[in-house]
Amino acid sequence: MLKEGPGKELLEGVATLLRMDPMSYVAFGPYWWWIKRWLQEAYGEDSPVQGEADDPVARERLAAYWKGDWKKLWRAAIRHYQQKVAWGERYEPHSYMPPHEEAYVVNDPDMVPPSLPRMR
């Protein structure tokens, strides 16, 4: 497990993005669960993301893959987001999980916009 993570300085751009466009969370793919946790830890009640939905298996696999180095995991998350946006897939929940590029679908019920029904 990771002992540290990015602080508010690094997370500020992601926080702003999610406040303006919450559904863009899906472009982080399996890294979303670390992004969500880091935002909640850094911002507390002021976090742009709330809720307890999580994928601990994805978080553990990514932490193990990046050998517990939060900086590498952070860079990979940003790279993943940028790649999805470049491919025109910002809102497509399908993704991949390193190291073998297994199919992964991110779905955080806490991030459904208020105008859409929640499915649990």
Which pLDDT belongs to residue 9?
A: 85
Q: Using H for helix, E for strand and C for coil, what is the string for the chain?
A: CCCCCCCHHHHHHHHHHHHHCHHHHHHHHHHHHHHHHHHHHHHHHHCCCCCCCCCHHHHHHHHHHCCCCHHHHHHHHHHHHHHHHHCCCCCCCEEEECCCCEEEECCCHHHCCCCCCCCC
pTM for the full model? 0.89
| pLDDT, position 6 | 86
| Res 7: pLDDT | 81
For the chain, the structural domain boundaries read 8-109
Give tens-digit pLDDT for 66-86: 999 999 999 999 999 999 999
pLDDT given for residue 100 in this prediction: 86
Q: What is the pLDDT of residue 56?
A: 96
Q: Which residues of the chain have pLDDT under 50?
A: 116-120
